[in-house]
Structure 1
Amino acid sequence: MTKIFLIRHGQSEWNKLNKIQGQKNTILTELGEKQAAHMGNRLIEENIDIIYSSDLKRAYDTAKIISNIINKPLISSEAIREINFGQWEGLNTEELQEKYKNQYRTWTKEPDKLNMDGAETLEDLKHRGMKYIENIVKENQNKNIAIVSHGVMLKVIILGLLGVEMSHYKNISLNNVSLSIVECRTYNNVLTLLNDTSHLKELI
């Protein structure tokens, strides 16, 4: 059985400011670094074989901290970068509601229907991310794979692995440095853990 450990990056500077990050290369806060270390300690007993990460700094640095703790190889790729949010990147929620009121409402209620010039749709993201995920699963049969990425990308990957329509994107929430697990069993892919942050209790 192949087991996929899906990990969102640690708190970034723009997470603190409630800004849309997308593909902007923001950095981890001190808390984000501590969160990543706690995740690394949690994974020590999980027999991870390899770690794949987005190449954006907030995700890669999270993955690097984990890699150093569990002493496993790390490969980065732009294929599992966060969604390109186009003109939204760098804006906070209040600014989005003011400047892009109708589009923001679509994103919160029917995100699979949002289509903006210069930005990716959820279907675009699914095509980019799942192609990469399917390849690494084939390359790592019967191994434990850790994937460190971003909120939107990870939710799309989870839905893609489960064969669930993108219209259900709005029904999933993933916190910073949360752990979700999908087991690729012989008969089906099964979600066994979602958005777990129990390893962060000491930091709350």
Structure 2
Amino acid sequence: MTTRLIVWRHGNTDWNASHRVQGQTDVPLNELGHRQAAEAARLLATTRPDAIVASDLRRAADTAAALSALTGQAVSYDERLRERFFGAWQGLTTATVAATRPDEFARWKAGADVVGGDVETLDDLGKRVSDALQDASALAPGGVVVVATHGAAARQGLGHLLGWPREQMRTLRALQNCHWVELTHDEGPGWQLGAYNVGAHAEQPVPPAV
């Protein structure tokens, strides 16, 4: 029995566009983000999802709502799918973080835990999102589950789910807005990565999700 799990990053926001650290700040989709969600939803609707789960932050919840509107499938919400908590960084541009908190920024760029600034650790992020993904997949064993979440949360959560070391997770480029990851789960091999950074349209590369 194969369960298919699609992990979907939310659409664009004004803070994405200005390279501002969102973290768990509840920033809404902008006009582009709503268009991206509608375009992606048309493709994802063809998978006939048996369940849709979303982070309760508006940018993810509204992205999931676009798919719900096409499929009639209700959305359930899980706060464990929220983006990484970035503490004192939230609301700052990445350029400001680099200029005013250079040691913390250097550790983040190197893929290490940030020391200071009350930023959530990578292990804590990976575990809480992975647990949420496991619970979401259990809603429809042998079916299709779509989860709307956030960039850093998606990458760290799926890496934890797959049992990858941190160094291997860093080989994955940042998920583009409204792109997704496809995983499958079977009794024998367990979780396997099927596709990464799939989307309805091509975009220019983006900096790592924050």
Q: TM-score, normalised by structure 2?
A: 0.90
1:47 and 2:45 equivalent? no
Contact 2:184 2:193 (C-alpha < 8 Å) held by counterparts:
yes
Q: Which residue does 1:3 correspond to in 2? A: 4
Moved more, 142-151 or 167-176: 167-176
Q: Distance in 1 between matches of 2:176 and 2:15?
A: 14
Give the drift of 1:117: 4.5
Return the letter of the residue paired with 1:105. A
3-state secondary structure, aligned to 1:104: helix
3-state secondary structure, aligned to 2:148: strand
Q: Deviations over 1:108-153 (max 9, x none)?
A: 1123x32435221011112221222222323321110000000011
Name whichever structure is richer in helix by fraction. Answer: 1
Q: Which runs of 5+ in 1 are unaligned?
A: none
Contact 2:127 2:157 (C-alpha < 8 Å) held by counterparts:
no
Identity %, equivalent residues? 27
Moved more, 141-150 or 120-129: 120-129
Q: Distance in 2 between matches of 1:107 and 1:174?
A: 17
Q: Which runs of 5+ in 2 are unaligned?
A: 204-210
Moved more, 157-166 or 56-65: 157-166
Q: List aligned pairs for 1:106-125, cutoff 5 A.
A: 106-111=107-112, 113-125=113-125
Give the drift of 1:201: 4.6
Q: Which residue does 1:24 correspond to in 2? A: 25
Return the letter of the residue paired with 2:193. L
Contact 1:109 1:170 (C-alpha < 8 Å) held by counterparts:
no
Q: TM-score, normalised by structure 1?
A: 0.92
Q: Which residue does 1:91 correspond to in 2? A: 92
Q: Distance in 1 between matches of 2:116 and 2:167?
A: 17
3-state secondary structure, aligned to 2:15: helix
Contact 1:6 1:147 (C-alpha < 8 Å) held by counterparts:
yes
Q: Which residue does 2:139 correspond to in 1? A: 139
Q: Distance in 2 between matches of 1:115 and 1:76?
A: 31
Q: Distance in 1 between matches of 2:81 and 2:143?
A: 19
Q: Which residue does 1:190 correspond to in 2? A: 192
Contact 2:125 2:157 (C-alpha < 8 Å) held by counterparts:
no
The count of corresponding residues between Structure 1 and Structure 2 is 200
Return the letter of the residue paired with 1:127. K
Q: Which residue does 1:100 correspond to in 2? A: 101
Return the letter of the residue paired with 1:120. E
RMSD in angstroms over aligned alpha carbons? 1.5
Give the drift of 1:185: 1.8
Contact 2:48 2:144 (C-alpha < 8 Å) held by counterparts:
yes
Give the drift of 1:104: 0.9
Q: Distance in 1 between matches of 2:171 and 2:159?
A: 10
